[in-house]
Structure 1
Amino acid sequence: MRIIAGRLGGLQFKAPRGHRTHPMSDRVRGALFNSLGNIEGLSVLDAFAGTGALSFEAISRGAKKTVSIDIDVKAVKVMQESVIKLRIENQCKVVRANASSWSSNNKNMLFDIVIAAPPYDNLQPFVIAKLTRHVKSDGMFLLDWPASEEPPTLNTMKLIDARKYGNAQIAFYVPV
């Protein structure tokens, strides 16, 4: 896998072998970050991080810090190796945790951008809803969701856009 744009653009990183994640394609990842525009100095939570691609892309494009959460041991190990290889240890924190538990244990952590890309075979709307509480009042919540389904209604969020890319769609929410 590779970082698409920014100061780390073109650099490669590994994905766990035989991993059950659905890494976001370069096309979708590029479109997502192009939609966000300037993210210089912002903080990003990457829930269900898998390969870490979203965190790495965010840092490359100017994000100040990212937190990457995944429960899978292999995924976390490979992400940690990539963080070292990319020399972004001071900007990217990798955490092995269940997203729901992490959210409960870090209630006061707020981010400018929260991205959730859960495995399509294990979509849990209540976990998605929990993650929205980590969005700053002027922030944004992005959800990678199957294109075949309507994005969920989230009580504390307003859906402002949903863009489909093949089997995937990115839903953009802002706090109400």
Structure 2
Amino acid sequence: MRIVGGAFRGRRLAAVGKGDAGAHLRPTADRVRESLFNLLLGGRFGDPVEDAHVLDLFAGTGALGLEALSRGAAHVTFVDDGRIAQGLLAENIALLGVKDRVKVLRASALRLPEAATPVNLVFLDPPYGRGLGEKALTSARAQGWIGDDALVIWEERGPQDAPEGFTLLEHKSYGDTVVTLLRAG
């Protein structure tokens, strides 16, 4: 696994090894991240990454949020309660030297603390098929994490409907992964 674009392009991230089967730890593949960021930065959405405040729910290794930092995001809050994921995330933050631009919440994405300020970009990559994505978005919205007009990128096994308070922008398929793009508001 590596960073595919921006200031840290080509930098390797910590090896996942056997991962965490119980937590369904499965990092977003390099080619999917590259396609996803090409979609985000292709002009249709302006530049939602530059100077963004990002929330990475079910962060795992942190690859999505770290990719956003590499491409100009100002700050990323990572949320994951998995022990192995937390170790990999800490290692990746150290490898890239971005500790001053991140916050790690060792918490469930379903039970977030109240946000100090809302974010404008959300990555949501829950364990597939367990119905956790909508619950996490609802929690994040209720706790003030998701600002009006925030862009949400939701990875899941199939296309997802827009929860209340969100507008569906589109679905993109990448093999068995479907990315649902939503706009808060």
TM-score in terms of structure 2 length = 0.86
Q: Which sections of structure 1, spanning at least 5 residues, go unmatched? A: none
Distance of 1:44 and 1:84 partners within structure 2: 19
Q: Which sections of structure 2, spanning at least 5 residues, go unmatched? A: 42-46
With 56-65 and 32-41 compared, the bigger mean Cα shift is at 32-41
Q: Residue in 2 aligned with 1:14? A: 14
Q: Say if 1:42 and 1:113, in contact at 8 Å, map to a contact too.
A: yes
Distance of 1:169 and 1:143 partners within structure 2: 8
Q: Match of 2:175, as an amino acid? A: G
Q: Match of 1:92, as an amino acid? A: V
Aligned to 1:90, the other structure's residue is in SS state helix
TM-score in terms of structure 1 length = 0.90
The reply to whether residue 77 of structure 1 matches residue 87 of structure 2 is yes
1:127-166 aligned within 5 A:
127-133=136-142, 134-147=145-158, 150-166=159-175
Match for 2:176 among 159, 167, 170? 167
1:67 positional shift: 0.7
Number of matched residues? 172
Identity of aligned residues (%): 28
Distance of 1:126 and 1:66 partners within structure 2: 21
**What's the Cα RMSD here?**
1.6
With 120-129 and 76-85 compared, the bigger mean Cα shift is at 120-129
Change (3 A) 1:175 1:121: closer
Match for 2:122 among 94, 98, 114? 114
The reply to whether residue 95 of structure 1 matches residue 99 of structure 2 is no
Q: Match of 1:166, as an amino acid? A: G
